A and B are shown apart, each in its own frame.
Chain A
Amino acid sequence: MARVVLVTGVSRYLGGRLARLLGQHPDVERVIGVDVIPPPDDLGNAEFVRADIRNPVIAKVIKAASVDTVVHMNVIATPVGAGGRSAMKEINVIGTMQLLAACQRAASVKQLVVKSSATVYGVSAKDPAMFTEDMEAVRLPRSGFAKDSVEVEGYVRGFVRRRPDVAVTMLRFANILGPGIDTPLARYLSLPVVPTVMGFDGRIQLTHEDDALAAVEAATFGAAPGTYNVSGDGVLMLSQAIARAGRVNLPLPTPFASVTRELVRRFGYIDFTSEQIEYLKYGRGVDTSWITERLGFVARHSTRQTFDAFLLAHPLGRVLPWDAPEEPTPVTTIGGVAR
């Protein structure tokens, strides 16, 4: 069956790469990429349609091309470049609502894939070490991208109830990082002096950008709709990541951390919500066995390899005098001998 795929958010890095990737797939007849601004890079076989998903016009695009698969990549993590937090929230929440409304009306739509985020699990000291998909947040996110993600998932669940005939897959990504993508975490770890919260050290999980695309591809062509966590194997401690990057770790007592966050935010370099401060303190782990069992997807890069790939592609110069660790050490799993 030749398929017609609509990809939203193609002017952003991941959306653009996904449109190119799907355009090369033998089962795909047409890829339509939509966004409000033209994509900076060539979309390959994919066609670009300038449309705003916050506008009912998107319904016409879906109908005209009788789109059967919608891949929603336009849930954005940072207001930098989106025109501020309120614009970001509108793109994420109103955009998703409009897109889902359009999908609900379109009889041709048979499949929906939504990029979500592991931030929906919230962050707190009471979190289990690893979240599985059936667990709920101990402390629900209250601001920023994390809250948007919770709301987006809520609307998607509503859509699942109203259109049970559509196969819906949501992918909860741990922080996506890699050679090309620009994320708040990438910017944070690129600071020469990295402020952290004194006395705390979060566990960080990373998804390589190539693995993120492969996961969306697996969800699009796989036959197991559902909600899945996506991440590379293993974790890095925040302090460990900063050390590997050769940056200076600057632990600040909690009150100063909030002040610093406000300063960095004012300069518009990184938007840091209080949610993200909590993340630096406690971190988060997600279990990825479901996607492996049901979609056969295995991330090819571990968290550590993803981080090293990021470092390799960002020759920002090391702040600390010693060299980067020479060889990547093998990833350990829990268990095994004690010594």
Chain B
Amino acid sequence: MSDAQVIPLNPDREPTGDGGASFAGEQHLAGAFRFLRRRLEGSYEVDDFGFDRELTNDVLIPSLRPLYEKWFPVEVHGIENVPSEGGALIVANHSGTIALDSLMTQVALADHHPAHRQLRMLGADLVFAVPFLGTVARRAGHTLACNPDAERLLESGEVVGVWPEGFKGVGKPYSERYRLQRFGRGGFVSAALRAQVPIIPTSIVGAEEIYPILADAKLLARLLGTPYFPITPTFPWLGPLGLIPLPSKWHIEFGEPIMTDVFTEGAADDPMLMFNLTDQVRETIQHTLYKLLMQRRSVFF
């Protein structure tokens, strides 16, 4: 759709500061209408995974931006470790009761990486079985955490994000904060090796404090079919207000890439190598977490 031609209604009038502002507002409105029209007509693109680039860039990321820039604010380190083109696998620690840490990483890469890279996350199967959540996740470019999907994305040159701690990480009690849980079976390492893309160990500080889990109501969780039911200082006591995350100060550090193209073909089938690499990634993240925590003056500043 070509942009509408702008014809000034009153060419004699000097443009004033005020008029300029309202003109910009009109253009914005026209853009919003065009967007809405495309959505209603179904004339937009999704890729094979259901990723809707337009919706992600124009709606989903802007709606997360205030949280990223104002509420927490997030400070990013080492973004240059993420390549500007080609595949890469981001492996990070997971915490914070709901997976806001992964969303903030997505915003960091989209807004602050020089190549504005889209993070394609691998999510638990539970995410895709939940109404609305699964649909939004697919639209935002995420897919099921399984090796075929991970390899397909990496081989097509996407930046893939994985949080190997899964629910063990997000649902852990506050007393265990910044202590990494088991890293699954390390399937992510073999995916990176097969696709020959660098692994970028990423450490996130701040997410642990947004909803500190004091206790887990296991019975309620079983009734609701969720992996855990968090009891935080504000939830469920304050009702919906309890859903507001505490405004902690965040740091996301993208670490030195671990190159995988140095290994020979078939290395992905060597379980010992997989264990060692998984451990290396886990240790790197854990040490970076301790380093960042040492540097942090307070939880909120």
Contact = CB atoms under 8 A, between A and B. Distances in A.
A136 to B, nearest CB: 12
B146 interface: yes
B43 A235 contact: no
A303 to B, nearest CB: 10
Interface stretch (B130-138, B208-216, B254-262): B130-138
28 contacts: A125-B134, A126-B125, A128-B146, A128-B149, A129-B144, A130-B48, A130-B148, A132-B148, A135-B148, A199-B131, A199-B134, A200-B131, A203-B49, A234-B48, A235-B47, A236-B46, A240-B44, A285-B48, A285-B49, A320-B40, A323-B41, A325-B43, A329-B43, A333-B47, A334-B51, A334-B156, A335-B158, A338-B116
Contacts of A334: 47-49, 51, 153, 156, 158
Contacts of B146: 126, 128
Contacts of B39: 243
Contacts of A338: 53, 110, 115-118
Interface residues of A, number: 41
Nearest to B119: A338
B41 A322 contact: yes
A128 B148 contact: yes
Contacts of A331: 45
B47 A332 contact: yes
CB-CB nearest 5 A-B residue pairs: A199-B131, A243-B42, A325-B43, A125-B129, A244-B42
B44 to A, nearest CB: 7
Contacts of A129: 48-50, 143-144, 148-149, 152
A324 B135 contact: no
A332 B46 CA distance: 8
Nearest to A135: B148
Contacts, number: 109
Interface residues of B, number: 41
A255 to B, nearest CB: 12
Q: Is the contact region of chain A dominated by helix, strand, or loop, or is it mixed?
A: loop
B167 interface: no
Most buried by A among B57, B115, B125, B131: B131
A198 B135 CA distance: 10
Interface string B152-176: 1100111000000000000000000
Given A335-B157, A338-B115, A338-B118, A243 B134 contact: no
A242 B40 CA distance: 10
Given A129-B49, A130-B148, A235-B50, 20 more contacts: A125-B125, A126-B128, A126-B144, A128-B148, A129-B152, A132-B148, A199-B130, A203-B46, A234-B47, A234-B48, A236-B42, A243-B41, A244-B41, A244-B43, A324-B41, A333-B47, A334-B49, A338-B53, A338-B116, A338-B118
